[in-house]
Amino acid sequence: NRALARMAHEVVERNKGASDLVVLGIPSRGVPLAHRLAARISSVDDVDVPVGALDVTMYRDDLRLRPARALEHTDIPTGGVDGKVVVFVDDVLFSGRTIRAALTALDDVGRPRAVRLAVLVDRGHRELPIRADHVGKNLPTSLQESVRVLLAETDAQDAVLVGAAEDTVHRADMEESR
């Protein structure tokens, strides 16, 4: 909660207000985080911040390397993204490949004025030149570890779990966060 509150203040300060923001969560856990962040931003600046979801599944560069997965829901707010500042929200930033896919997917939706990235956890190990603008917590990890974010909306509790990759029950969920 403190991390999201701090991130909301950072977003409003950097943007000089919230009137031209659109917050887009990246499924799956980025979507509830986006709703939480948008609510916090709205309370800071007293402006309704449009929030939506952007599925990046078909834009990933590992489609042929992994089993097929179900498409998630894309929901672009009514005003669209043209000329707006889009804030992508995701739970864990790892290799940067999900964000690269999100940037490509955004091309099919519209042309924002700027794109920023807010992540709850940045664990390092980037494979692409991508960095988050707003980070809840930098959490240095080894490649042998996994980071899993649990949210009350999807997991009945809020938590960040760090453990050995092979010990993580839902390793596939973390792979989605890449």
pLDDT in tens, the chain (178 residues): 999 999 999 999 999 999 999 999 999 999 999 999 999 999 999 999 999 999 999 999 988 787 777 889 999 999 999 999 999 999 999 999 999 999 999 999 999 999 999 999 999 999 999 999 999 999 999 999 999 999 999 999 999 999 987 654 443 333 333 3
Q: Which helix (H) or strand (E) holds 13?
A: helix 2-15
Residue 114 lies in a domain: yes
Which whole-number Å values give the CA distances from 100 to 48, 97, 130, 150, in the listed order? 28, 5, 8, 23
Strands (E) in 59-132, as ranges, are 85-93, 114-122
Residue 43 lies in a domain: yes
Find the CATH number of the domain harbouring 85. Answer: 3.40.50.2020
Number of domains observed in the structure of the chain: 1
Residue 173 lies in a domain: no
Rounded Cα distance between 137 and 33, Å, is 14
Structural domain of 69? 2-140
